[in-house]
Structure 1
Amino acid sequence: MRFESDGHLKLYQWSQGWQVIADVLHLDVCAYPTDCGEYGICSNGQCSCPSGVNGSIYIRLIDDRKSNLGCSSVNPLSCQSMQDRGLLPAHVVSYFSYAYGAANFRGIDEESCKQACLKNCSCRAALFQYSGNVSDGNCFLPLQLFSLQNNQPSTSHYNSSAYIKVQNIVVSPASNNTKKRDVGIGVSIGIIGAVLIASLIGGMIIRYVWRKRSTEEEEDDFQQVPGMPTRFAFEELKLATENFSKKLGEGGFGTVYQGKIGDEKVAVKRLDGVGQGKREFLAEVETIGSIHHTNLVRLIGFCAEKSHRLLVYEYMCNGSVDRWIFSKGQHSTLNWHMKRKIIVDIAKGLSYLHEECRQRIAHLDIKPQNILLDDRFNAKVSDFGLSKLIDRDQEQVMTRMRGTPGYLAPEWLTSIITEKVDIYSFGVVIIEIVCGRKNLDYSQPEESVHLISLLQLEDIIDAHSDTKLHAKEATEMIKLALWCLQRDSNKRPSMSTVVKVLEGARNVETDLDYNFFANTPIMPRNRDHYDYHLAASPAPPASLLSGPR
């Protein structure tokens, strides 16, 4: 049985391939979460977009001929311009999640619900529901807004409204002088009637010119930002990678190719399905380009041409760590001292992202595949760009779940996370490096699939290298990993504390909760990356991260 992205719950049967044999849910029309796509409003099976304010259009259909595909914002939301954000009201509408009571806040008033959404960069709408007292309602703050539907309070027995976040909203104050307004309306009608045809023709011409000029100005914006990484044309990168022929690897957000620009080897990541506008992409590239640390892979340049989104990184000749710790044929190359240095390098790179940047940066994809090695086996964290930026005054953020099976911290089940999810993933990586095998390994016997369920210190230390000769140090390293794997994120150390432990400046915490296996997100074995909402079950004894990109 699988819960599909369109909201249908389907039952499958294997018969020379998986065949659908039943659609389990039988809901009324408009009851499925994506009947009218994102931002769409469903009414008796018909789809429309939320109305604008004072004639302005902030949300429009993606395709005028296919209204069921949903709607999109005219101006993309930007965390860099939060002061220009506003809420577009859609009254007497309901939402599918009301039936499951997944409210973010209960017992609050409508205005407080709206303000909570405006203050949270990740929030896409404030959905407010109440029965009798408007000051005692439920507030829903979705990170992704699916289809809304018309609400009938007489049958649903509750009142509800949606306030959709939009960019550059301007609401003009109503005139107090109704007589002057009425006179103005009469005069306006006369003028409009006189110039209607001319306006229509002129409007078509102006719209064409405006769109052309906007596109050109948007392209020029990339050239005007000081301190930006090099901007490449798509054809340049196509030539540099020999038409993207040398694949280095593939992840959840795109494919990486080897290339050469001048005399320098580079790694070109071609992003798939990023769904960003050029301005949004530029803002994130600007952030990545300003980050420099010896244990972070350097961003050399980028490409944002039409629908193409590419990032150009320095080339790391020894590839990713997983090739060295999971491949039995190369175990003799990575001795204990090299493994320990790799762990220290990862910790220093993450400490910089979490604590030394202007904004805290949660990586959200820490795993051996995203740790690269240079010619001297110095480890550098990659794919830290396009992750999650957390303002210094924010204690936590809401975001959709993203990651890799075996690395997900327990708090992902709530979608409210901090940079501590990276520390959990780091703990898993320590265990994998010390033990020489993956945390989730379905080639193992059933009782041994989850490495962390086998934690008995010396018994699981990698026997294929000289790690056994350093069993005491390896045991202390596993104790550090256990501290990072605490179920309560507040009990995990900061990355700067982890660095101090690794450098011998402090000891590992001894008062640890060893019951950290329950309530862990577990994903199907045929998924190697995850970036969507998940309804998960509690895990058996197991371990538990991983965007962009």
Structure 2
Amino acid sequence: MTIGRNTCSYFLIILLILLISLSLLISAEIVDYPSSVDFPNSWRNIPSSDLSFPEAAGVRPILVNGMFVCGFSCSFVDDSCLFAVSIFKTSYDDSASFSPQVVWSANRNNPIGLGAILQLTREGRLILQDDNGAVVWSPNTVGKPVSRLNLTAEGNLMLFDKTNNMAWQSFAHPTDSLVLGQRLVTGQKLRASVSTSNSSDGSYALAITDGGFTAYREADPSRIYYYRYLDEEMNTGKLYAEFQSGRFGSFIVSDSANFIQLGSDGHLKAYEWNEWKWVGVDLLDIDRCDYPLSLLELRDTEYIRNQYNRIFSGITSKEDCKQACLKNCSCQAAIFFDQYSSCYLISEVFSFRMTASNFNPPLISTFMKVQNNPIAENSNKNHSLPNLPKRRRKDIVVILGSTLGAIFGVFLICIFLFLRIKKGFKEVEEDYLDYISGMPTRFSYEELKNVTKNFSNKLGEGGFGSVFQGTLPSGSEVAVKHLDGFGPVKKSFIAEVQTIGSIHHFNLVSLVGFCAEKFSRLLVYEYMPNGSLDRWIFNKIPELALGWQIRKKIILDIAKGLAYLHEECNQKIIHLDIKPQNILLDENFNAKVSDFGLSKLIGRDQSQVITTMRGTPGYMAPEWLSSVITEKADVYSFGIVVLEILCGRKNVDGSQQEEDRHLLGVFSRKQEEGQLLDLVDNCSDDMQSNAVEVVEMMKVAAWCLQTEYSRRPSMSTVVKVFEGSVDVAGNLKDNFLNELTPEALRTFASTVSPSTLSGPR
């Protein structure tokens, strides 16, 4: 039965891809992008409504010529964008390819966000500005006022002046890639990216020096790990290598290769399209063990031990910490604590554990020393061990032994799971949920597949799964959360169903139904067209900024929803994960509290509860350190959200300078200086014109943020404040803001281990 279902699923996925490709192909015929534009002109980085496949692949085109597209190339993870030239396998109006590859970018070290603008000005300059107006990039065309921007069929982005003379070209400024017809000239170099997900300049470079190709580590130019003569004849005196069909200097490449790229692992590969993906063939004919060591960043990971073998003082940056480990032969891993600027080197690696960090950048960075290995090796090569020194052979034996041990462990786990499945791995929840009174509608998995059109319209995703839009047979729109995983997901699912399955309030998202069928767990909510609050308060696009009256109503709506949970239900419900991502907005911007996966129910006669730490760092109250929690933990989180709404920025913002990284620290400082008006969101003219009233609202947030939870108001009192029947004055400790020092914030943030991830968004 399992095999049949999987086969059917694969068939449906392929059919869905074909249908999407067909729809994109049809709409792409409507869009006719130019290959050349004249000044003056400008383009803003905002998603368009057309369904052409460049848009679906994250590329917002400005110019198109053949298989090349120039425009804004954006990440689906964090909305960071590059002004770039990307290659698609075929012309976008001939066939839909979902794997665009950036082959040149202007701002790889300084990505832009939504709202950024590219301008070809009347004064003859091409300027890339971020949404805050800061100039991110502009080519050097001094003395040559440009009048035209042109993308050639070869992928060369060119600027021409009024006399049609070339003023600048991207081929003269390569990044990490070369396309057919492009030369690598002495004085130029290919510079690898940091990683596949980080386009910034990495440490590997390839240049033409001393008549040959030289690959080396940029941080240490003397660390050359590869050299090859430029020409086979070795005496032609050429100072460049041109990527032609079948050849790049003395390298022989495939006739069907479209571009060459120096990867973040130091490998130089020629890429060609193979069915559904780009496939690279390594050009450097050296053993994989001859590549330099590098450090692999372990995301959302921390070392399980609390003590480290060696502490380095005097190191102030993450990069210094990494270099210290690379230069230390006994170092196997490195950990850098951002808040203390401290570097820890580990000589014996025992175990790491996964965490769920909501800080960006993370407070703790973990790196493990590895050797760069090719992603794929030619399977027909003889992989017998070469005649290596004894030390290297010993290392390889250890690596092979560890690998075989890991494979054997996975094999045992698979056998265990198979036996469990064969015995009947059905959770009891499938049966006992039917006996809980007041439960919402129970759907089958097949019903929800039909409701969501086979889960085709994804609204978002998070740590435990994805959310899809659907329509019930009655015509009502719903959002279906598809949970993935076992233990934590099961707890989150049961908590959510039990908590809000039988309660109803206008400011709480309604749970329409659920599905608990074998391994499938899904929750069905009312659909909220305007999405989550964070989309509206953290973007810096003036056209999307919310006005003061809407923000004030949203704050009141959140307060009413929490007051209902705390005081009007049969059992007191503590949400424990209040943050903008869990506040949803309907078509009229009515706010509703959502996601009760971490909530806690306590009896009316209980004043507090002891529970394991849960929630999202940055929104968690200080009393979490004692694990004794009351509903006032939600009040504290509410205070953080109120400040974020009023200030239009995140509580912890890694893009800010150190002294401004924590919003509460800035709030404390501005209050002491009498400059709270500086914190009012400057992206909205309406907020600025009501700044005095906004600052008064900040007093409510401050009342909710007092360190002593007993001094915080109840949410019903907060509602009365908004209705004018209770005054904030006199309820605040005179020195409450002094407790919110940056040092205290950093100490708490470092103590809290973000080991519990809230549910999917």
Fold conserved between structures, TM > 0.5: yes
Q: Distance in 2 between matches of 1:322 and 1:3?
A: 28
Q: CA deviation at 1:304?
A: 1.1
1:237 lines up with 2:448 in the alignment: yes
CA RMSD in angstroms, aligned pairs only: 3.9
| Mapping for residues 14-33 of structure 1, pairs under 5 Å | 14=322, 20=333
Please tell me the residue identity of whatever aligns with 1:507: D
Q: Distance in 2 between matches of 1:381 and 1:287?
A: 13
Partner of 1:383: 595
Q: CA deviation at 1:3?
A: 4.5
Partner of 2:727: 507
Cα contact 2:427–2:518 (8 A) shared by 1:
no
Q: Distance in 2 between matches of 1:460 and 1:279?
A: 39
Q: CA deviation at 1:344?
A: 0.2
Cα contact 2:495–2:597 (8 A) shared by 1:
no
TM-score, L = length of structure 1: 0.58
Moved more, 248-257 or 426-435: 248-257
Q: Distance in 2 between matches of 1:433 and 1:388?
A: 26
Partner of 1:474: 694
Q: CA deviation at 1:481?
A: 0.5
Cα offsets for 1:83-119 (capped at 9, x unmatched): xxxxxxxxxxxxxxxxxxxxxxxxxxxxxxxxxxxxx
Q: Distance in 2 between matches of 1:387 and 1:451?
A: 26
| Mapping for residues 506-545 of structure 1, pairs under 5 Å | 506-510=726-730, 511-512=732-733, 513-517=736-740, 519-520=744-745, 523=749, 530-532=754-756
Partner of 1:326: 538
Comparing both structures, which one devotes a greater share of its residues to helix?
Answer: 1
Partner of 1:346: 558
Partner of 2:682: 463
Please tell me the residue identity of whatever aligns with 1:323: R
| Mapping for residues 119-518 of structure 1, pairs under 5 Å | 219-262=430-473, 263-273=475-485, 275=487, 285-330=497-542, 333-455=545-667, 456=670, 457-465=676-684, 466-510=686-730, 511-512=732-733, 513-517=736-740
Q: Distance in 1 between matches of 2:665 and 2:485?
A: 36
Moved more, 462-471 or 316-325: 462-471
Cα contact 2:721–2:728 (8 A) shared by 1:
yes
Q: Distance in 1 between matches of 2:695 and 2:648?
A: 14
Alpha-carbon spacing, 1:308–1:505, altered in 2? closer, same or farther (3 Å): same
Q: Distance in 2 between matches of 1:319 and 1:532?
A: 24
Q: Distance in 2 between matches of 1:361 and 1:501?
A: 22
Number of positions where the alignment pairs a residue of Structure 1 with one of Structure 2: 360
Q: Distance in 2 between matches of 1:270 and 1:286?
A: 17
Q: CA deviation at 1:245?
A: 3.2
Q: Distance in 1 between matches of 2:603 and 2:759?
A: 19
Alpha-carbon spacing, 1:260–1:442, altered in 2? closer, same or farther (3 Å): same
Specify the SS of the correspondent of 1:441.
coil
Alpha-carbon spacing, 1:392–1:33, altered in 2? closer, same or farther (3 Å): farther
TM-score, L = length of structure 2: 0.42
Partner of 2:264: none
Q: CA deviation at 1:4?
A: 3.4
Cα contact 1:405–1:522 (8 A) shared by 2:
no
Specify the SS of the correspondent of 1:328.
coil
Alpha-carbon spacing, 1:10–1:344, altered in 2? closer, same or farther (3 Å): farther
Alpha-carbon spacing, 1:266–1:3, altered in 2? closer, same or farther (3 Å): same
Q: Distance in 2 between matches of 1:277 and 1:463?
A: 40
Specify the SS of the correspondent of 2:601.
strand
Q: Distance in 1 between matches of 2:737 and 2:748?
A: 19
Q: CA deviation at 1:223?
A: 3.8
Q: CA deviation at 1:332?
A: 5.3
Alpha-carbon spacing, 1:313–1:26, altered in 2? closer, same or farther (3 Å): closer
Q: CA deviation at 1:472?
A: 2.1
Specify the SS of the correspondent of 1:300.
strand
- Gaps (5+ residues) in structure 1? 35-64, 70-207, 534-545
Alpha-carbon spacing, 1:217–1:297, altered in 2? closer, same or farther (3 Å): closer
Please tell me the residue identity of whatever aligns with 1:515: N
Cα contact 1:3–1:10 (8 A) shared by 2:
no
Specify the SS of the correspondent of 2:487.
coil
Cα offsets for 1:414-446 (capped at 9, x unmatched): 222111111111111111111111111111222
Q: Distance in 1 between matches of 2:640 and 2:660?
A: 16
Q: CA deviation at 1:302?
A: 0.7
Alpha-carbon spacing, 1:283–1:453, altered in 2? closer, same or farther (3 Å): closer
Q: CA deviation at 1:256?
A: 1.8
Cα contact 1:400–1:531 (8 A) shared by 2:
no
Cα contact 1:3–1:9 (8 A) shared by 2:
no
Q: CA deviation at 1:234?
A: 1.9
Q: Distance in 2 between matches of 1:283 and 1:514?
A: 35
Q: Distance in 1 between matches of 2:648 and 2:724?
A: 24
Cα contact 2:461–2:760 (8 A) shared by 1:
no
Alpha-carbon spacing, 1:377–1:26, altered in 2? closer, same or farther (3 Å): closer
Q: Distance in 2 between matches of 1:303 and 1:327?
A: 35
Q: Distance in 1 between matches of 2:715 and 2:349?
A: 49
Please tell me the residue identity of whatever aligns with 1:324: W
Cα contact 1:432–1:438 (8 A) shared by 2:
yes
Alpha-carbon spacing, 1:286–1:421, altered in 2? closer, same or farther (3 Å): closer
Specify the SS of the correspondent of 1:403.
coil
Q: Distance in 2 between matches of 1:279 and 1:452?
A: 32
Alpha-carbon spacing, 1:514–1:505, altered in 2? closer, same or farther (3 Å): same
- Gaps (5+ residues) in structure 2? 1-297, 311-317, 335-344, 354-408, 414-420, 671-675
Q: CA deviation at 1:464?
A: 2.1
Cα contact 1:10–1:20 (8 A) shared by 2:
no
Alpha-carbon spacing, 1:273–1:410, altered in 2? closer, same or farther (3 Å): farther
Alpha-carbon spacing, 1:267–1:10, altered in 2? closer, same or farther (3 Å): farther
Q: State which structure, 1 or 2, has the greater radius of gyration over its C-alpha atoms.
A: 2
Q: CA deviation at 1:220?
A: 4.5
Moved more, 219-228 or 491-500: 219-228
Alpha-carbon spacing, 1:278–1:489, altered in 2? closer, same or farther (3 Å): closer
Moved more, 477-486 or 379-388: 379-388
Specify the SS of the correspondent of 1:430.
helix
Alpha-carbon spacing, 1:374–1:23, altered in 2? closer, same or farther (3 Å): same
Comparing both structures, which one devotes a greater share of its residues to strand?
Answer: 2
Q: CA deviation at 1:358?
A: 1.3
Q: Distance in 2 between matches of 1:477 and 1:496?
A: 16
Partner of 2:303: 4
**Larger relative contact order (CA 8 Å, sep ≥ 6):** 1
